Structure 1
Amino acid sequence: MEMVERADDEIKEETQTHSPPPSKDQKGKKFSWGKLRRFDSLDIEANAISNHHNNGSKALGWMAILKLAFQSIGIVYGDIGTSPLYVYSSTFVHGVKHEDDILGVLSITYYTLILIPLIKYVFIALRANDNGEGGTFALYSKICRYAKVGLLPSQQAEDRDVSNYKLELPSRQRLASKVKSAIENSPSAKYFLLLITMLGTSMVIGDGVITPCISVLSAVGGIKEATSAMTEERIVWVSAAILVGLFMVQRFGTEKVGYSFAPILTIWFLFIGSIGLFNFFKHDPSVIKALYPKYIIDYFKRNKKDAWISLGGIILCTTGAEALFADVGHFTVLSIQISTCFVVFPSIVLAYTGQAAYLSKHHLDTADVFYRSIPGPLYWPMFIVAVLAAIIASQAMISASFSIIQQSLSLGCFPRVKIVHTSSKYEGQVYIPEINYLLMLACVALTLGFKDPVKIGNAYGIAVVFVMSITSALLVLVMLMIWKTNILIVILYVFTIYLVELLYLTSVLYKFTEGGYLPLALSAFLMIVMSVWNYVYRKKYTYELENKLSPENLREIVANVDFHRLPGIALFYSDLVQGVPPIFKHYVHSVPSLHSVLIFVSIKSLPISKVLPEERFLFRLINPRELGVFRCVVRYGYTDLHEHESFERTLVDRLKEFIREELQLSHVKPNNKDVPDGGESDDGMAIDEEVNKEQENKRKEAIKEKVELIEREYSAGIVHLLGETEVVASKGSNFGRRILIDNAYNLLRRNIRERDEVLNIPHERLLKVGMTYEL
């Protein structure tokens, strides 16, 4: 208790430094008065307020939760739900060699589904959401909030007033403190964490390429059972055409068809579950023996290396488990747990059980076991639903790729691309034109190149298991540092779930030359792009930090009588939170005029999911006051919307609020020199009241005048001043740095969106300022 109280006192002392006395209407509000005056709650992100914006504990009624559970079926489970299309065909590549092999594979499938999607993701990973958001970057940002391991510019020392949103009390657990200190004091550990986060992100994007290929190709391939006219070549071209159509409609968003997703996939799960149950009783109910783990041991004893290799096919039963975690932000933890446990898990278990029962009587049908096991009258309905389910599964992974690239972009780990929000209701529904067409080309090329779902499955397995392994590694850190889980439970997790995933990883890597190289090559390319961009992004920030203008220089520039003051408001964009970027000096030397109101705007993307609207804009008045120069820090979480249409109006309104508060809190008490020591006279009290009234009138008049000035200048127009910096390697740089900056980075910069396009700044009110930085 003493430690906690001391930490609370330190926090109070920090937030009350240099704070003027609050007015009556401001009592009870929380303010922070440092170099940047602002509301200082962000205690949501600090977990000071539990249950606020926490998707795991929303106060919803049961009807609302059940409705969300139903909706989640259409968004979350498309990938894992369509895995019965190709798991057994990818596992029994050379057919069934021994009758008990079917029981061995089914037993491994049972326990893999229990350990990974059910226990790991549904009951452990979902609890590790970052204020409702899931995925690799969400885990990384959660760790960054509890330990100083971030390498992103928003966590530099100069940004302390903005991004110090985690008020972590001293940890009592020695192990958690040791792990935290070890990572914080190791630069290599920090870089390793960021790199594996980027690798996980790259693998999820790889899933966005491979999922549409294997799902659509496997679903369309079922038509061979109905007609011999559909050759392998025709199936491939039909699949490619469906993929092109799928990507072409991405720009319309998923909201228009979203309501059809859940019913279609619910029908799909009912179909595969019912058909599985039918095959179980019709062909071989004895396959239920697979619940006995001895069949796993016998399977490995009998097949040895071949059994280990077959794990690369079995692991495909868990595809989509990562999407289950990544999409938690659209729903609640409880709703996903309900839909998984009562609909999805039973259906896919019955589907695999029924296919195993069918194979026990038809050993030669392994390549097309899904469609061969369907009763005749249900073939065409099942074929139609399977194609629709495959398209939905593809849609889910494509959307997940867009969302994770949006996160990477917000955290400075991806080149600038245009983010289009396709829904006014759902924040997570975004569309990225450049990425969409690149994914489309990659999908079509992969489909036409590989043609066989089994070969694509080899590539798919590597992408799936890599992401799972990275998630587990980050989860172990969360357990140790944040949850402070008992070390025995952590060891149990590592030696069961994590060890199983690593075993699967060794198996899928064995098929590197049979298609497994594809996701690794794609991830390597994306890793290089992200690493180059992030490296130069941080170097540019450091350069501006070291070469910023001092407040004295700024006052000299703005107060220069040779400068003309123009009507209107100028927004000068900068990455710096404190200090003025060197490019501003370059601007004023070239254009000897400034607008009546100058605002240095810093748009910061913090490694948190959301920033409350009332905490979005942080203002500070730069002295001398009469110059009308302000600093504004605009903070976004990685899932917040950037709506420029309302940006200018909101910024001006918040500026006026800031001016009112600034002038109210700058009240100076009058000196009562005429009041004798030891008491107050009636005349003295009357004088005080009169002076206070006069001060209050002056203050109100000053507030009115300043607010009217801001509104008048807003009506005169807003001009956006945007720095466009060229970067070159500094003289004396080594060969590697010159290649990285002069060639790799500048090649990326020339082929991406301009910053004004990303920010949606109107061109008629945009002025670009150019300058070259030597890094």
Structure 2
Amino acid sequence: MSSEVVEEGVESNGNVENTKQHHHVEQVSDHPSGRTGKKLSWQKLPRNDSLDIESRSFHKSSHASRGPSTSVIMHLAFQSIGIVYGDIGTSPLYVYASTFTNGIKNNDDILGVLSLIFYTITLIPLVKYVFIVLRANDNGDGGTFALYSLICRYAKVGLTPNQQLEDTEVSHYMLELPNNNRVKMASRLKSKLESSSFAKLFLLLVTMLGTSMVIGDGVLTPCISVLSAVGGIKESDSSITEGRVVGISIAILICLFMVQRFGTDKVGYSFAPIIFVWFAFIGGIGIFNFIKYDSTVAKAINPKYIVDYFRRNKKDAWISLGGVVLAITGTEALFADVGHFTVRSIQISMCSVTYPALILAYTGQASFLRKNNDLVSDTFYKSIPHPLYWPMFIIAVMASIIASQAMISGTFSIIQQSLSLGCFPRVKIVHTSSKYEGQVYIPEINFILMIACVAVTAGFKTTTKIGNAYGIAVVFVMTLTSALVVLIMIMIWKSHILLVISYVVIIGSVELIYLSSVLYKFKEGGYLPIAFAAVLMAIMYIWNDVYRRKYYYELDHKISPEKLKGITTGKNLARMNGLAIFYSELVQGIPPIFEHYVANIPAMHSVVVFVSIKSLPISKVPVEERFLFRQVEHEELNVFRCVTRYGYTDVRNEEEPFEHLLVKRLKEFIVGGFLTSQRVVLNDKTEEKMNSGEGNEFNGMQEGGDKEKVVQEGVKTEVEMIEKAVRGGVVHLIGESEVVASKGASIKKRILINYAYNFLKKNLRQTDKVFDIPHKRMVKVGVTYEL
């Protein structure tokens, strides 16, 4: 007698969301009479869904139950000063010079610009990011893809059909939704997104654009920060030429990118004290200038001066907003780098150190300019008391290097997220800290950023031209982030409609005004980040589009259980001792490449495990919840399916080799499944004997002991089967599918698949590089799909 858990929709239907589980187990009898017709309640039987056993056995991860201690938060708050705020902290180097490019025409214009700077810093970095956007983190991780992943978990807007019901059992996958009555608008918006293919694609493209612009920030931030700091050396020696300043800047940039391999953790500890001293200096000098030159600039807190500024200067005032917006450069790093730290630590460091120091610095510079209108082009260095010039120059150069670090770290984080969600070609992710999660280094991206920074610095030469390009990247990212946050406010947070409208009217309108201003300088360098983003978006879209096409092809041509039995029981197929791990991207079913393999090599190992590597739209998946197993029908074949789930910030190469971890989890799955099925069978036999009066109480007790003995022996036999296969040798079979456009395909499709995608694939890492797969036991199986 044997038993099976009745399961519908997993193999027969490509969409696993249709999976249904009956609330009983049907007994299949070897007796000629057929089925016994008995049904056992799930209350009496441990649930044994084979795609669910792992997540239910280890349901909740303990690591998420407790937040970091106060000492750790303060520790991270200090460290974040060196990583997150370098960019926004060095903005005083060039903001006034970039705003008054044609000089100061009216002394009260300084009050108007100071008022603009004060309210811009208060509204965007402080109110929007620190107190609103940081709340939209994905279990501690930030960035454009974190927002997208939240939306994907709440609404079915993903374009790849690899969702599974079991995914919702992962710790932190389900969102903590507010319990209120404002659900009508949220449900309507959710339904529209889920039913519109255009909306899904548009949402993905918006996310890609935001990602591309953040990477653009990672290119331009080092250029403008280092150039503006090094340019201060001309104050002490007027004979130093612009070419020499550019040369020194390029040398510093190369050194900066070379130290990235040491990791955010080590770099952050060395940078935090320097930036802390920088903020103390610019804040202190600001107070000094405020007292010495003109303390009446404090009245700029009145927004009336903004109105007067626009009345006097009209179009010129609107154009000058492109300079004012540079006061909030690097703000996106607050969100992108939150995964390196915590929300609370960033809020503490921003409110207690960064924000006060910046306001004091800009106020002091405004006081200085009120008495020295003609020195606006070199405001920062001219406003420094003479005895502090050289100390400030040295700290400024060091701070500019750190400013670059903020966006480089953010770039690494956001590329890691897009890579994991199938929107970026494979690159190597190096986790640089064993103490703090989320701190990564990407060698290929680091090299590309270095080349791009050197080229931009050598080509543009001045901070004014780079500033024109920089503003577009900064405001574009902020605007896209606001659009995604509004979706989250409506659909997930279910915020009151008045709060949503207030956010759109106040924050959204300010960002759109700034965006219109920076776009005015498109021809003067603004084209650079847009061109850079266009190239990145093209790469991301090509990779994602062909990835989806290939997935759909494999889904349509997957091998059914009946076909698998026919293949594996063929007369020409030899079964040999050993364990074969067959890698593919298909989550539902067995990929068609296996049939191609057997047709060319008519041999199959005694145990075969089809492994699908799947990225969930969540930051982390605990190791104990990572594996989902299912034994394919016809149990005598010893064929298993395994979905290995990762979050977009998870380490792919664990400390324990992937092979060992998979075998250990497979044995746990077999033990759990066998114990459950055998106990059902033996309980049924006992119940039948007792009902027929064949046994007495003593015999029942005797049989109870025999039952456990039978179960334990059965478990031992099943485990030995796996161990014997492992001793026979483990082979890693990697499905390397080439794709070509089908005959008769359009020119656009042929260019997309035959040239663009295949060019990217040939020049990037292969699967065995992403995972720790031993080369001596690796076999690549190639097949060509016509899409």
Instruction: Please report the TM-score for the alignment, with normalisation by the length of structure 2.
Output: 0.91
Residue of structure 2 equivalent to 1:127: 135
Query: Offset at 1:563?
Result: 2.5
Matching of residue 86 in structure 1 with residue 102 in structure 2: no
> What one-letter code is carried by the residue in structure 1 that aligns with 2:280?
L
> Which structure 2 residues correspond to residues 734-749 of structure 1 after superposition, within 5 A?
734-749=746-761
The whole-number CA distance in structure 2 between the counterparts of 1:162 and 1:494 is: 34
**Cα distance, 1:41–1:733 mapped onto 2, change above 3 Å:** farther
Q: Is the 8 A contact 2:46 2:676 kept in 1?
A: no
Residue of structure 2 equivalent to 1:671: 685
Query: Offset at 1:167?
Result: 5.8
**Cα distance, 1:59–1:698 mapped onto 2, change above 3 Å:** same
Matching of residue 269 in structure 1 with residue 279 in structure 2: yes
The whole-number CA distance in structure 2 between the counterparts of 1:76 and 1:408 is: 21
Residue of structure 2 equivalent to 1:583: 593
> Which structure 2 residues correspond to residues 356-395 of structure 1 after superposition, within 5 A?
356-395=366-405
> Which structure 2 residues correspond to residues 318-397 of structure 1 after superposition, within 5 A?
318-397=328-407
Matching of residue 766 in structure 1 with residue 774 in structure 2: no
Tell me the SS of whatever aligns to 1:521.
helix
Q: Is the 8 A contact 2:336 2:413 kept in 1?
A: no
Residue of structure 1 equivalent to 2:12: none
Matching of residue 653 in structure 1 with residue 664 in structure 2: yes
> What one-letter code is carried by the residue in structure 1 that aligns with 2:99?
T
**Cα distance, 1:62–1:428 mapped onto 2, change above 3 Å:** closer
Residue of structure 2 equivalent to 1:7: none
> Which structure 2 residues correspond to residues 234-633 of structure 1 after superposition, within 5 A?
234-633=244-643
Q: Unaligned stretches of 5+ in structure 1?
A: 1-10
Q: Is the 8 A contact 2:87 2:329 kept in 1?
A: yes
Residue of structure 2 equivalent to 1:39: 55
The whole-number CA distance in structure 2 between the counterparts of 1:317 and 1:113 is: 7
**Cα distance, 1:53–1:218 mapped onto 2, change above 3 Å:** farther
Matching of residue 696 in structure 1 with residue 708 in structure 2: yes
Q: Is the 8 A contact 1:674 1:684 kept in 2?
A: no
**Cα distance, 1:263–1:31 mapped onto 2, change above 3 Å:** farther
The whole-number CA distance in structure 2 between the counterparts of 1:459 and 1:243 is: 19
Q: Is the 8 A contact 1:106 1:290 kept in 2?
A: yes
**Cα distance, 1:238–1:153 mapped onto 2, change above 3 Å:** farther
Decide which moves more: 146-155 or 33-42. 33-42
Matching of residue 67 in structure 1 with residue 75 in structure 2: yes
Q: Is the 8 A contact 2:59 2:169 kept in 1?
A: no
> What one-letter code is carried by the residue in structure 1 that aligns with 2:541?
S
Aligned pair partner of 1:102 in 98, 110, 116: 110
Query: Offset at 1:453?
Result: 0.6
**Cα distance, 1:30–1:703 mapped onto 2, change above 3 Å:** closer
Query: Offset at 1:489?
Result: 1.1
**Cα distance, 1:762–1:302 mapped onto 2, change above 3 Å:** same
Tell me the SS of whatever aligns to 1:623.
coil
Q: Is the 8 A contact 1:569 1:719 kept in 2?
A: yes
1:522-548 CA distance string (max 9 Å, x none): 001111111111000000000000001
Q: Is the 8 A contact 1:217 1:236 kept in 2?
A: yes
Tell me the SS of whatever aligns to 1:39.
helix
The whole-number CA distance in structure 2 between the counterparts of 1:673 and 1:335 is: 61
Matching of residue 751 in structure 1 with residue 746 in structure 2: no
Decide which moves more: 308-317 or 761-770. 761-770
Query: Offset at 1:752?
Result: 1.5
Q: Is the 8 A contact 1:163 1:606 kept in 2?
A: no
CA RMSD, Structure 1 to Structure 2 (Å): 2.5
Q: Unaligned stretches of 5+ in structure 2?
A: 1-16, 28-41
Decide which moves more: 103-112 or 379-388. 379-388
Query: Offset at 1:309?
Result: 0.4
> What one-letter code is carried by the residue in structure 2 that aligns with 1:217?
L
Matching of residue 136 in structure 1 with residue 164 in structure 2: no
**Cα distance, 1:567–1:427 mapped onto 2, change above 3 Å:** farther
Tell me the SS of whatever aligns to 1:415.
coil
Decide which moves more: 543-552 or 394-403. 394-403
Query: Offset at 1:506?
Result: 0.3
The whole-number CA distance in structure 2 between the counterparts of 1:377 and 1:652 is: 68
**Cα distance, 1:562–1:694 mapped onto 2, change above 3 Å:** farther
Q: Is the 8 A contact 1:38 1:618 kept in 2?
A: yes
Query: Offset at 1:357?
Result: 0.8
- Identity across matched positions, percent: 61
Residue of structure 2 equivalent to 1:687: 699
Residue of structure 2 equivalent to 1:6: none
> What one-letter code is carried by the residue in structure 2 that aligns with 1:635?
R
1:685-714 CA distance string (max 9 Å, x none): 333333332232122112122223323432
1:697-736 CA distance string (max 9 Å, x none): 1221121222233234324432110111111111222221
Query: Offset at 1:34?
Result: 6.4
Query: Offset at 1:272?
Result: 0.8
Tell me the SS of whatever aligns to 1:671.
helix
The whole-number CA distance in structure 2 between the counterparts of 1:675 and 1:450 is: 90
Q: Is the 8 A contact 1:16 1:32 kept in 2?
A: no
Q: Is the 8 A contact 2:618 2:648 kept in 1?
A: yes
Q: Is the 8 A contact 2:412 2:441 kept in 1?
A: yes
> What one-letter code is carried by the residue in structure 1 that aligns with 2:354?
V
Aligned pair partner of 1:720 in 732, 743, 747: 732
Query: Offset at 1:676?
Result: 6.9
Query: Offset at 1:412?
Result: 0.6
Decide which moves more: 169-178 or 413-422. 169-178
Q: Is the 8 A contact 1:727 1:742 kept in 2?
A: yes
1:564-611 CA distance string (max 9 Å, x none): 333332110011222111110000111111222211000001111111
Q: Is the 8 A contact 1:31 1:39 kept in 2?
A: no
Tell me the SS of whatever aligns to 1:640.
coil
> Which structure 2 residues correspond to residues 184-195 of structure 1 after superposition, within 5 A?
184-195=194-205
Query: Offset at 1:315?
Result: 0.6
Query: Offset at 1:117?
Result: 0.4
Q: Is the 8 A contact 1:17 1:33 kept in 2?
A: no
Decide which moves more: 180-189 or 59-68. 59-68
Residue of structure 2 equivalent to 1:706: 718
Aligned pair partner of 2:125 in 104, 112, 117: 117
Count of residue pairs brought into register by the alignment: 747
Tell me the SS of whatever aligns to 2:685.
coil
The whole-number CA distance in structure 2 between the counterparts of 1:279 and 1:340 is: 23
Tell me the SS of whatever aligns to 1:600.
strand
Matching of residue 154 in structure 1 with residue 162 in structure 2: yes
Q: Is the 8 A contact 1:461 1:508 kept in 2?
A: yes
**Cα distance, 1:343–1:29 mapped onto 2, change above 3 Å:** farther
Query: Offset at 1:164?
Result: 7.8
The whole-number CA distance in structure 2 between the counterparts of 1:20 and 1:358 is: 85
Tell me the SS of whatever aligns to 2:585.
coil
Query: Offset at 1:746?
Result: 1.4
> Which structure 2 residues correspond to residues 197-236 of structure 1 after superposition, within 5 A?
197-236=207-246
> What one-letter code is carried by the residue in structure 2 that aligns with 1:658?
F
Query: Offset at 1:561?
Result: 4.6
The whole-number CA distance in structure 1 between the counterparts of 2:520 and 2:309 is: 19
**Cα distance, 1:374–1:31 mapped onto 2, change above 3 Å:** farther
> What one-letter code is carried by the residue in structure 2 that aligns with 1:368?
D
The whole-number CA distance in structure 1 between the counterparts of 2:187 and 2:403 is: 42
1:617-667 CA distance string (max 9 Å, x none): 111122322322211110000001111552111111111111111111112
